[in-house]
Amino acid sequence: MKQFNKSTNILIFTFIITIFLFTSCTDDDVRNDPLSIIESSAPIQDQYIVVLKSDYEGKTTRKKLGYDAEIKQLRKEIPSKFSELNISNDQIKQTYGFALKGFTAVLNSNQLEKLRMDPRVKSIEQDYIISLGKPSGTPGGGGGGTDPAQETPWGINRIGGTTDGTGKTAWIIDSGIDSDHPDINVDVNRSRSYVTKGKYSIEDGNGHGTHVAGTVAALNNNIGVVGVAAGATIVALRVLDSRGSGQFSWTISALDYIAANGSAGDAVNMSLGPQSRYTDTAVDGAAEAVASLGIRIAIAAGNSSDDSLYYSPARVGLNNSNIYTVASMTSSDSWSSFSNYGTPVDVIAPGSSVKSTYKDGGYATLSGTSMASPHVCGLLLLGNVTTDGSVTRTGNSDSYPIAHN
């Protein structure tokens, strides 16, 4: 059970995020044109996430070859290990070997049925599209010629102010990062993109990931904003495209990468998930595997005004000491009307009208549980999360402790 210095509630909240989403002819050509909003979440036809049992005999061993070499080797193994299925290399979309053993592939009905009967297989689930939710806030962009004077956003003050995070690492699983933003310390070498459309780049064409990163660790450098763990190193793991759309299988790849390359004491932020009720044991299991390594995870509860127990990965905050599911509150210590709730939610944090960094060197004020979660991610980098007061859900007696430094 998670330990707090003050009263503790074990609760869960889901994910959906509220920001402007942009679309264009190609995923990475998107910039500042608010043409349409992506709101749909749906299964991906004929694409499945296959998790293998722990005693599956692959040729690789954790960290023996290094992440890239092992993933490449696993990809070569699948067609031969499952030769009776006649799976081609083109059918294999992702392979996993650290947070879990398995792969994602496009399968026909015959291949799927044979895999379901294979004793080496632990689970098979259809891959699923996840996407960001309805817009709420004032996105900006284009830093311009003069950087704004530094200010401390209200949420940073509410949870106990900023602390030096230099030397600590936060992994941001999101829409990428503006890698040359003057207010964020990004480790480009360790960053990765799992988006398979458009240009292979960690650059944030949406703005969401950069906003999350700034709340965690914006520099204390006299410009813009300052983060919870100011100056911490940010590693960008891009799993959402410029429209804010991605696949659960990409998120599993990001978690697999962290399992191979992260260290105990690191923190992960996951402000993502499905917009309607959907659970996935593969993505949940990958998150739990990362947490078992001493790497702590903050997950947004979601913006559906619903019980987070029915959403992955938000539901994994339940009874996991290294995973915190986070609901959203306003600057008046009131419940954010959009926020998910429920037994997996551990804490509540500032999520309404939160100012932070944004794409193209800019800054933006946005709302959502996506904005609440990185406050807790920053606290997890600094040590144990304490609490300071509580927020009662509107029209309900449920009370959630406020995260604090």
Q: Per-residue DSSP letters for 110-167?
A: HHHHHHHT-TTEEEEEEEEEEE-B---EE------SSPPBPB--HHHHHTT--EE-TT
Query: What DSSP element (H or E) covers 346?
Result: strand 345-350
**Residue 313: cis peptide before it, omega within 30 degrees of 0:** yes
pLDDT of residue 22: 28
pLDDT of residue 57: 60
Pairing of strands 137-138, 233-238: unpaired
208 carries an active-site annotation: yes
Q: Which of 370, 373, 375, 404 is catalytic?
A: 370
Give the Cα-Cα-Cα angle 68, 70, 73 (nearest 5 degrees).
110
Q: Report whether 206 contacts 140 (CB < 8 A).
A: no
Q: Tens digit of pLDDT for each residue in 28-71? A: 322 222 222 334 568 999 999 999 998 766 544 445 678 888 89
**3-class DSSP state for residue 79?**
helix
127 carries an active-site annotation: no
Kindly state the tokens that stand for 142.
């284009």
256 carries an active-site annotation: no
3-state secondary structure 143-154: CCCCCCECECCH
In order of their start, the domains of the chain are: 43-130 (3.30.70.80), 133-404 (3.40.50.200)
Q: Which of 174, 266, 284, 306 is catalytic?
A: 174
Sign of CA dihedral 124, 250, 66, 82: positive
Q: Which of 181, 208, 211, 404 is catalytic?
A: 208
* Distance of alpha carbon 232 from alpha carbon 216, whole angstroms: 8
Q: Tens digit of pLDDT for each residue in 130-173? A: 877 554 666 655 555 688 999 999 999 999 989 999 999 999 99
Kindly state the tokens that stand for 132.
């960001």
User: The tokens 């100056």 sit on which residue?
Assistant: 231
pLDDT of residue 131: 79
The segments of the chain whose pLDDT lies below 70 read 1, 3-41, 56-64, 133-145, 198-199
